[in-house]
Homo-oligomer: A and B are copies of this chain.
């Protein structure tokens, strides 16, 4: 999985039927020191993240295996909220 920060959302009414009823979040890849990378995904949220919060995204066929994303034609889903990061001698409380 990759660590991402929620930075916004996308509105789409014209879309594949399988995408109805889920929120499309705009997420940005972040580094371990929480600085931002110039890489973005639009992902389905399965854990209820708010803007500015950190999560983990699964991409590829895995993204459509969760209870919420099953049978949806997506390739990126947020599968966990990041609450704390422990790096060797540094602890980040997110």
Q: Interface of A with B (CB < 8 Å)?
A: 1-3, 7-19, 24, 26, 28, 31-32, 38, 40-43, 46-48, 51-52, 56, 58-67, 73-77, 79-88
List the number of copies, as a whole number.
Answer: 5
Q: Within the assembled complex, what's the spacing in Å between the Cα atoms of A82 and B26?
A: 12
- A80 close to B15 (CB less than 8 A): yes
Inter-subunit contact A74/B46 (CB<8 Å): no
Which of chain B's residues has its CB closest to A80's CB?
Answer: B15
Docked-complex contact B47 and A40, CB < 8 angstroms: no
B73 touches A18 (CB 8 A): no
Would A40 and B2 count as touching, CB distance under 8 A? yes
How far apart are the CA atoms of A83 and B15 in the complex, in Å? Answer: 10
Partner pick for A14 among B18, B75, B83, CB 8 A cutoff:
B83
- A52 CA to B89 CA in the complex, in Å? 12
